[in-house]
Amino acid sequence: MREGIVFNIEELTVHDGDGVRVTVFMKGCPMRCSWCHNPEGLKAQPELLYKRARCVGCGECQKKCDHEDCKPFGRCLHVCPYDCLTVAGERYTSERLASKLNKYKRIFDACGGGVTFSGGEPLMQWEFIAEVIDRLDGINIAIETSGYAPMHIFKSAVDKLDHIYMDIKLFDAEAHKRHTGCDNAMIKENFLYLRLSGKPFTIRTPLISGITDTEENLSAIKEFIGDAHWEKLPENKLAGAKYDMLI
């Protein structure tokens, strides 16, 4: 059975797809967007978060302990009196995650909705997600993806999912590389597959001041995607405090 790493599960949200959703944030992303508001989702492995402003420097967390879960981090996670230390990233087997999600089935059936996989970049752990989906009791599944994934992974996901939310952030290849660290050729190819797939999908562009919200960029995206359903998302400025927590 496969294991995946999840850094957050938001229960009963209403903004990540149709109806009432449970959103599962998968750890790891190959991109490094300069505006990313989920920095704790970027590294593939679990990592320590440290609330620097609360720390009084007592040194208790640096004393030796025997807890298995503390070993990878070289600090005790259980003694801080000010709750300064937490870990972003929890390992789930596909069975444990599916069992947790299946508990919402009655709510989804009553109100509409389902599960949304987000990240990070959820397609980095696609084989795990596919195994989770196979264990779900007929729940509607959406994904929020950057579209930056090899074509065979992207195709497999499109074929299995009910709705795909895919970003097209910057059309110009050089600007895309400069602001996200990655080339966008694969994203454009994946969009062409998605458009012909017959699956419901939504293209999203985060509006980042002076980067993605320029007339030139938005016109180029519009020309590329044609009449596809397109959402332009306002900038999220809440990431700064989270970057400070990464060690």
Number of other residues whose CB lies within 10 A of the CB of residue 231 = 11
Residues 184-243 that bind ligand SF4 (CB under 6 A): none
C-alpha–C-alpha distance, residues 205 and 231, integer Å: 6
Contacts of 34 (CB under 8 A, 6+ apart): 179, 180, 208, 211
Q: How far is the CB of 106 from ligand SF4 (least distance, A)?
A: 31
Of residues 89 and 139, the one with the C-beta less far from ligand SF4: 89
Q: How far is the CB of 167 from ligand SF4 (least distance, A)?
A: 7
Q: Is residue 26 near ligand SF4 by the rule CB under 6 A?
A: no
Q: How far is the CB of 72 from ligand SF4 (least distance, A)?
A: 17
Q: Which position among 19, 71, 78, 82 is part of the footprint of ligand SF4 (CB under 6 A)?
A: 82
- What is the SS3 assignment for 114? strand
Q: Is residue 166 near ligand SF4 by the rule CB under 6 A?
A: no
Q: Which position among 84, 158, 221, 245 is part of the footprint of ligand SF4 (CB under 6 A)?
A: 84
Cα dihedral sign, 231-235-241-247: positive
Q: Is residue 129 near ligand SF4 by the rule CB under 6 A?
A: no
Q: Is residue 56 near ligand SF4 by the rule CB under 6 A?
A: yes
Q: How far is the CB of 136 from ligand SF4 (least distance, A)?
A: 24
Structure tokens at 194: 């998605």
**Cβ-contact 138, 112 below 8 angstroms:** no
Q: Is residue 36 near ligand SF4 by the rule CB under 6 A?
A: yes
The candidate with the shortest Cα–Cα distance to 89, out of 151, 5, 159, is: 5
DSSP code per residue over 164-210: EEEE---SSHHHHHHHHSS-SHHHHHHHHHHHHH---EEEEEE--TT
Residues 101-120 that bind ligand SF4 (CB under 6 A): 119-120
Q: Which residues bind ligand SF4 (CB under 6 A)?
A: 29, 31-33, 36, 38, 41-42, 55-61, 79-80, 82, 84-85, 119-121, 146
